[in-house]
């Protein structure tokens, strides 16, 4: 859970910056930030599961 927590913190802070520097109305930028945050989490979880099944050890 520690890894997931710090990954979410990272995604959140990065999404804030991406949302603020994006173009468009406040509402559009808010949704863009939320979308970036969701994409970070979603892709990280997908990659995590892919790596889980790969025989890397």
Partner 1 sequence: MKEKTISNDWTGPDKARAWLVGLAALGVPGLGHLVQKKWARALLLGGAVWGMFFTGLWLGGHLFRLTPNDQGLAALLQLLPMIANAGAGILYIFCWITNTGFADHAQMVTYEYGNTFLLVAGLLNYLAMLDAFDIAAGRKK
Nearer to partner 1, 21 or 51 (CB): 21
21 part of the interface to partner 1, by CB under 8 A? yes
Quick note: the x/- pattern for partner 1 over 23-42, rule CB under 8 A, is x-------------------
Residue 42's closest CA among 14, 13, 7? 7
2 part of the interface to partner 1, by CB under 8 A? yes
Query: What is the number of residues in the chain?
Result: 57
The two structure tokens encoding residue 24: 């468009």
**Would you tell me how many other CB atoms lie within 10 Å of the CB of residue 19?**
20
Question: Of 1, 8, 10, 48, which one interacts with partner 1 (CB under 8 A)?
Answer: 10
């Amino acid at each position: 859970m520690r890894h997931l927590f710090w990954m979410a913190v990272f995604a959140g802070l990065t999404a804030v910056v991406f949302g603020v520097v994006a173009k468009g109305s406040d509402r559009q930028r808010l949704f863009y930030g939320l979308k970036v945050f969701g994409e970070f989490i979603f892709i990280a979880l997908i990659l995590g599961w892919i790596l889980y099944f790969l025989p890397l050890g």
